Amino acid sequence: MPENHLGNVAPRCLRGLLQTQKVEFLNTDNIEPNDSWLTHQWIVAGIVAAAARFIPLPFMDDVVRDQCRRFVVSRTLAAHPTSGTTLADLTPYYSDSSGCATGCLGMLAKAPLKLLLFPIRKIVVVVTSIRGVPLEMTRTILLGRTLQRQLASGPIDPQRAKRMRLAFDEAFALMDFRAIQAALSDAMRGVADWKGAAIKAARKLASSSRQQSATDIRTTAPVDQSADRVQNVLQQPETIKLFAEFDARFDRAYRA
């Protein structure tokens, strides 16, 4: 099945956990961005991030999730080339670590406990996937949406990015996403083997070298078809109203 490219990167210190694959990346920077294109990028990243929970290796879900969020930020910046904001400026907004070295050291420090709890944790995330998959997708989409809104008000420095992250987490925790979770689950069920295709994309993302740009995630037709169906859900009045509520909660938390 032919592959599309939307790619990203992963820390060197974890590359040995997966078999690396030699791939050619198609850079999407030359594609003229528009709102539909950008939303599709956010959705694909959300699907891949959500599927990472099914990879039966320690740390992989954290790595893939962080890299998918980095991809969302990168593509959003590409759609706003005159924003005066860099990917590095936004690290506090999207990442749970401050870089590969710090992230790897943190993972190594937590490795014994994570390895000990891994079987239990993995069972929990798989059992709760009915809720967790659409919730991770929603979070990833809102991450891009919120950044796009904030870029409209001027350049973002690291201190402002940190405030955005705090406001985002607070607003997200207060939301009731049950309606959109159900709608997204229904949309995904309409595509055969989306999970297998998304897991494959997550594995390839995790095995990419750190030098690869944050412009490509390798996907196949089931993932793109799922993204199209999810995009239809986002256009429903109920979803528009829900996201507007999130925007308002974020704005209140950010101003506080």
| Res. 232 pLDDT band, cuts 50 70 90 | very high
User: What does the pLDDT average to over 116-133?
Assistant: 60
Instruction: Give per-residue pLDDT as tens, 13-68.
Output: 333 333 333 333 334 444 445 689 999 999 999 999 999 988 877 678 888 999 99
| Res. 165 pLDDT band, cuts 50 70 90 | very high
Does the pLDDT value for residue 10 go beyond 60? no
CA distance 84 to 65: 26
Q: Using an 8 Å Cβ cutoff, are 237 and 54 in contact?
A: no
More confident residue, 136 or 219: 136
Identify the weakest region by mean pLDDT among 21-25, 37-41, 95-99, 156-160.
21-25
Give the chain's domain count.
1
Angle at 113 (CA atoms; ends 111, 117), nearest 5 degrees: 115
Instruction: Give per-residue pLDDT as tens, 57-88.
Output: 767 888 899 999 999 999 999 999 999 999 99
| Res. 253 pLDDT band, cuts 50 70 90 | very high
Res 59: pLDDT: 73
Longest distance between any two alpha carbons in the chain, whole Å: 50
Res 78: pLDDT: 93
Share of the chain above pLDDT 90, in %: 58
Range of the domain at 139: 3-255
